[in-house]
Amino acid sequence: MKWILTVVAVFCAGILIGMSDIVTSEWYSSDISTIILYILVVQVGLGIGMSGNLTKIVKNLNLSTLLIPVSTVVGTIALAAALSFAFSDLSVSDCMALGSGFGYYSLSSVLISEIKEPLVGAQKAAELGMLALLANIFRELIAIGFAPYFKKTFGKFATVSAAGVTSMDVLLPTIVKHSGKEMVPAALVNGIALEIVTPLLVCYFASL
Amino acid sequence: MLIILSLLFGSIAIGCLCKNIQPLKVFSDKVSITILLLLFTLGLSVGMQDAVVGNILNLGFTAFAIAAVCVAGSVVLTGCLSRFAERRRK
């Protein structure tokens, strides 16, 4: 929770400074955020490679543990695509890119705004980046708040699926509390698999 | 997109090969600082667009709808598939 508050505070500070005339558009170029994004992608990649999680995922690979990330991805993207018909200003691929964050709000929001800027312009790209940030923060909050209901109605795997990428870190204690300790391997595999899949899907759908 | 994916896969490979190199570990551990810097720049670009700032409530509602629908899609499909798998096992 402390981390989410920090994220929201830093993002709001950026908005406030952007609204004031402290930073002008000539002074601030989108190349700065592109360079920082490349640094972030390298850090995420190094983190995945150095953690040894890839060997863990291969060792824990079986049909039931694979079922959760696959159904999370398919269920999320299918309904995100269906939702696009309710919003006239969002295309099917936009909604699929926004849904593909799976709770990874930091990376997905920046990826979407960076990839979209040359395609749709700065304003629409900023709007989509903000939507991705908020939608993925909300996903985490819904997964925390509704965990007991998900377990009761859809079974013990549902708490892991709702958590998305955060099933391996932020939401792991919530998952253990409501679905039991036996869910830990499935939660880790789900989180790691989605952490790898998120940048691929976001990049793909955002570039359509 | 190609640059991002190449960087991702390249750095995963480097991470697997250089697990014990301390400076690389320290660099990858500083990911939260980079995330905050990026979100600050995203905030800056949002703040510079008056139309986006003026539409902030609408965006919040849309974001909540997307989050709720995405969570619903994943829990319903996971629930159905896990029940189906359990029945087949029995």
Residues B25 and B65 in one domain: no
Q: How far is A147 from chain B (nearest CA, A)?
A: 10
Average pLDDT over residues B35-55: 78
Position A122 scores a pLDDT of: 83
Residues B23 and B63 in one domain: no
Q: Is residue A6 part of a domain?
A: no
Which residues contact residue A152 at a Cβ distance below 8 angstroms, ignoring those fewer than 6 apart?
Answer: none
Total domain count for chain B?
A: 2
Domain extent at residue B9: 1-50
Question: Inter-chain contact B27–A133, Cβ cutoff 8 Å?
Answer: no
Residues B6 and B45 in one domain: yes
Q: Is residue A197 part of a domain?
A: yes
Mean confidence (pLDDT) of chain B: 84
Which of A7, A43, A116, A156 would best serve as a mutation to test chain B binding (most B beta carbons within 10 A)? A43
Position A102 scores a pLDDT of: 93
Which of B12, B70, B89 would best serve as a mutation to test chain A binding (most A beta carbons within 10 A)? B70
Residues B59 and B33 in one domain: no
pLDDT per position as a tens digit, A111-149: 898 899 888 888 889 889 989 988 988 898 899 888 889
Q: Is residue A16 part of a domain?
A: no
Position B68 scores a pLDDT of: 96
* Angle of the A122-145 helix axis to the A92-99 helix axis, nearest 10: 50
ipTM entry: 0.83
CA distances from A46 to A50, A148, B1 (A): 6, 35, 18
Residues B1 and B44 in one domain: yes
Question: What one-character-per-residue DSSP string does A82-108 give?
Answer: HHGGG-TTS-HHHHHHHHTTTT-HHHH
| pLDDT exceeds cutoff 70 at A203 | yes
Q: What is the pLDDT confidence band of residue B15, given thresholds at 50, 70 and 90?
A: confident
Q: Are A185 and A173 in contact (CB under 8 A)?
A: no
Identity of the residue numbered B52: V
Residues B38 and B64 in one domain: no
| pLDDT exceeds cutoff 90 at A78 | yes
pLDDT per position as a tens digit, A152-162: 999 989 999 99
| pLDDT exceeds cutoff 80 at A18 | yes
Domain extent at residue A141: 32-206
Q: Is residue A20 part of a domain?
A: no
CA distance A43 to A40: 5
Position B74 scores a pLDDT of: 95
Q: What is the pLDDT confidence band of residue A169, given thresholds at 50, 70 and 90?
A: confident
Residues B4 and B38 in one domain: yes
Residue A16, chain B, CB below 8 Å: the answer is yes
Total domain count for chain A?
A: 1
Position A1 scores a pLDDT of: 64
- A61 vs B76, residue with greater confidence: B76
Position A25 scores a pLDDT of: 66
Q: Which of A119, A205, A15 has the alpha carbon at shortest distance from B66?
A: A205
Residues B69 and B25 in one domain: no
Residues B36 and B61 in one domain: no
Q: Are B88 and A73 in contact (CB under 8 A)?
A: no
Question: Inter-chain contact B48–A19, Cβ cutoff 8 Å?
Answer: yes
Residues B34 and B15 in one domain: yes
Residues B36 and B63 in one domain: no
Residue A203, chain B, CB below 8 Å: the answer is yes
With contacts defined as CB-CB under 8 Å, which chain B residues touch A127? 46, 49, 52, 55, 59
With contacts defined as CB-CB under 8 Å, which chain B residues touch A26? none
Residue A119, chain B, CB below 8 Å: the answer is no
End-to-end Cα spacing for chain B? 45
Position A15 scores a pLDDT of: 83
**In chain A, which residue's Cα lies nearest the Cα of B21?**
A50
| pLDDT exceeds cutoff 90 at A91 | yes
User: Diameter of chain A by CA atoms?
Assistant: 56
Q: What is the pLDDT confidence band of residue A186, given thresholds at 50, 70 and 90?
A: confident
Q: What is the pLDDT confidence band of residue A83, given thresholds at 50, 70 and 90?
A: very high
